């Protein structure tokens, strides 16, 4: 699957933990499209590795951090609700305002390889 808004940068550490970071900034008119793309990524991760989510150092195979920021507003955390398949709280923006979503995914080699393959990264 090809992503349109999220452009991920890859890094890893000496223990083999991979991190995929993306920042996407859109005008309020495109927020819904960006939100759907983030939901697609997180829905895939939960479907493939959901039961194993948590910090790698605690035995998890993957984890994520999601935040959004509106013009001149503080950064706010978001979560993906697997039951409703929505982001909570729902990101909002006033007409003409820009919104920036920041998504970081991390995990071990199995997660990283599956993620890169599924979303045509690298």
What's the pLDDT tens digit per position in 57-114? Answer: 888 899 999 999 998 888 999 999 999 999 999 999 999 999 999 999 999 999 999 9
Residue extents of the structural domains in the chain: 9-118
The predicted pLDDT at position 88 comes to 96
The predicted pLDDT at position 32 comes to 96
Cα angle, residue 57 at apex, residues 51 and 63 outer, rounded to 5°: 45
pLDDT, tens digit, 9 for 90 and up, residues 22-71: 999 999 999 999 999 999 999 999 999 988 899 888 888 999 999 999 98
Q: Residue 119 — pLDDT band, cuts 50, 70, 90?
A: very high
CB atoms within 10 A of CB 47: 9
Helix, strand, coil tally for the chain in percent (to 5): 30, 35, 35
């Amino acid at each position: 699957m090809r992503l349109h808004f999220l452009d991920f940068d890859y890094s890893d550490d000496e223990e083999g933990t991979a991190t995929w970071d993306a920042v996407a900034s859109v005008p309020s008119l495109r927020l819904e499209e960006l939100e759907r793309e983030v939901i697609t990524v997180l829905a895939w991760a939960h479907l493939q590795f959901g039961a194993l989510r948590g910090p790698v150092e605690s035995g998890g195979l993957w984890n994520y951090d999601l935040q959004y920021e509106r013009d001149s507003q503080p950064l706010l955390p978001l979560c993906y609700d697997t039951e409703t398949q929505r982001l909570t709280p729902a990101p909002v923006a006033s007409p003409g305002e820009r919104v920036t979503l920041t998504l970081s995914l991390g995990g071990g080699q199995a997660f990283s390889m599956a993620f890169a393959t599924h979303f045509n990264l690298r």
